[in-house]
Amino acid sequence: MSKAPTEPHITADPAILGGKPVIAGTRIGVDLILEKLSDGESIEDILRDYPHLTRAQVVAALSYAARLVRQVAP
């Protein structure tokens, strides 16, 4: 079951990327941010590759993911 984003920098709209959580105002999925970080990229690398993003948006993606994990953790 999908949880609706509560972070203002994160939105989910069925018309955008099939309703996956994205950085608000973009088509950049939270999953993409997490993948890049897990591949060893830094926040600075992501900001350089996507100059229209802000540090606050990238951190919001991490915060959103952490909140989801806490909700489903046993």
Q: The domain containing residue 62 runs over which residues?
A: 10-72
Output the domain CATH number for residue 27.
Answer: 1.10.10.10
Q: How many domains does the chain have?
A: 1
Segment 27-46 mean pLDDT: 98
Which secondary-structure segment (H or E) carries 36? helix 30-38
pLDDT above 80: residue 58: yes
4-16 confidence digits (pLDDT tens): 566 789 999 999 9
26-36 confidence digits (pLDDT tens): 999 999 999 99
Tell me the two tokens of residue 38: 């897990």
48 occurs within a structural domain: yes
Give how far Cα 56 sits from Cα of 15, 59, 72, Å: 24, 5, 25
3-state DSSP of 52-65:
CCCHHHHHHHHHHH
pLDDT-based confidence at residue 24 (cuts at 50, 70, 90): very high
33 occurs within a structural domain: yes
pTM: 0.85
Q: Which residue has the tokens 């920098």?
A: 9
38 occurs within a structural domain: yes
Beta bridge mates, 10: 23
22 occurs within a structural domain: yes
